[in-house]
Amino acid sequence: MGTMDRIKHIGVFTSGGDAPGMNAAIRAVVRTAHFYGLQVSGILEGYNGLVQNNIRPLGTRDVSNIIQRGGTILRSARSKEFMTVEGRCAAKRTMDLHGIDALIAIGGDGTFRGAQAFMVEHGVRMVGITGTIDNDMGGTDTTIGFDTATNTAMELVDRIRDTASSHDRLFFVEVMGRSSGAIAMYCGIAAGAEFVMVPERKQGIEELISALERTEKSKSSVIVIVAEGDEEGGAYEVARKVKERYAHYETRVSVLGHVQRGGNPTVADRMLASRSGVAAVEALLAGQAGVMVGQVNGRMVLTSFSEVLSGTSPRNHAELDRILAILST
């Protein structure tokens, strides 16, 4: 598509749910663009900023001292307006007004669906960077924010374990993941949980009860991790169903909630974000568009939006299930 001399001005934005490491990605995009002599504009509040002309220039100093901060300095939003044909027309007018030649979108699959529609309708050159704590994207081994979110959840479960052990209690801990059980599964194994319930796999209360019966004689405290999207209805509902069957259990429920989205990004997330930002700018300069930057086997790779979006089906956790079953006995 484009060549280096055709792209002079890049716009960057964050979209969807915030993820630790987004600021590191913004910083990498801005500094890489300036390294190559390009102008950069920050688009505020995701696609809303394009629709509503909420744009500001970004220099290298504007992204100083943000690599360690969670959240996103550009703020994020889900844009209903951009989902309409008229909204995307308004977004293109904003780009033309500012002379923006190409966009770098930091977000998840909803962000890339919007990007694909924008490209098809208006020929906009776009490259995506993964920014979602759910780790549910095709084309990459991990997404920006996942490592931090999982570490945060693990540390909290470690603390819950302390009090569960002190009182012989059964704790149900709900972690984020409406359609993805990645945080639940990784956190469950890392924190030594006895059982994990994820939305990708049908797990009835009977299966959980069987696991509890196996551990009842050997363990004084039990922790069950529940992904918020689990079909049994979340941690409170799961706890209620177990209590109905086993009234003698002293149960407690802890919903970790949005605390998992915040906090300083880990080394892994800062590295992934930094590498992704550099790769995204260089991809545009090399004439690439309609692709997402991901990391596979330690290497930065480009995957088309269409392939990424067709491959976002939930990951197969069979191996992790097997490991959890062995380690939780």
- pLDDT tens digits, one per residue of 28-65: 999 999 999 999 999 999 999 999 999 999 999 999 99
Measure the CA–CA gap between 38 and 226, rounded to whole angstroms. Answer: 46
Inter-residue contact 9 to 15 (CB < 8 Å): no
Please give the sequence-ordered ranges of beta strands (E in DSSP) within 149-249, or none if there are none: 170-175, 195-197, 222-227
| The pLDDT of residue 317 is above 80 | no
β-strand pairing of 291-296 with 251-255: unpaired
- pLDDT tier for residue 202 given thresholds of 50, 70 and 90: confident
State whether the Cα torsion 282-270-312-126 is positive or negative. negative
Contacts (Cβ under 8 Å, ≥6 apart) of 48: 54, 77, 79, 81, 82
Among residues 18, 101, 109, 134, the one annotated as catalytic is: 134
Q: Taking the complete model, does pTM exceed 0.75, yes or no?
A: yes
| The pLDDT of residue 279 is above 70 | yes
Measure the CA–CA gap between 301 and 291, rounded to whole angstroms. Answer: 10
Phi-psi region of 249 (alpha: psi -120 to 50; beta: other; left: phi over 0): beta
- pLDDT tier for residue 249 given thresholds of 50, 70 and 90: confident
Tokens of 91: 């977004």
Kindly state the helix (H) or strand (E) to which residue 251 belongs, with its residue range.
strand 251-255
- Indicate the residue type of 140: T
Inter-residue contact 171 to 158 (CB < 8 Å): no
| The pLDDT of residue 9 is above 60 | yes
134 is catalytic: yes
Inter-residue contact 12 to 299 (CB < 8 Å): no
What domains lie within the chain, and their CATH numbers?
9-145+265-310 (3.40.50.450), 147-261 (3.40.50.460)
**The pLDDT of residue 231:** 81
Helix 267-285 × helix 146-167 angle, to 10°: 160
β-strand pairing of 125-130 with 195-197: unpaired
- pLDDT tier for residue 1 given thresholds of 50, 70 and 90: very low
Span 290-309, pLDDT tens digits: 999 999 999 999 999 999 98
Please indicate whether residue 161 or residue 329 has the higher confidence score (pLDDT): 161
- pLDDT tier for residue 2 given thresholds of 50, 70 and 90: very low
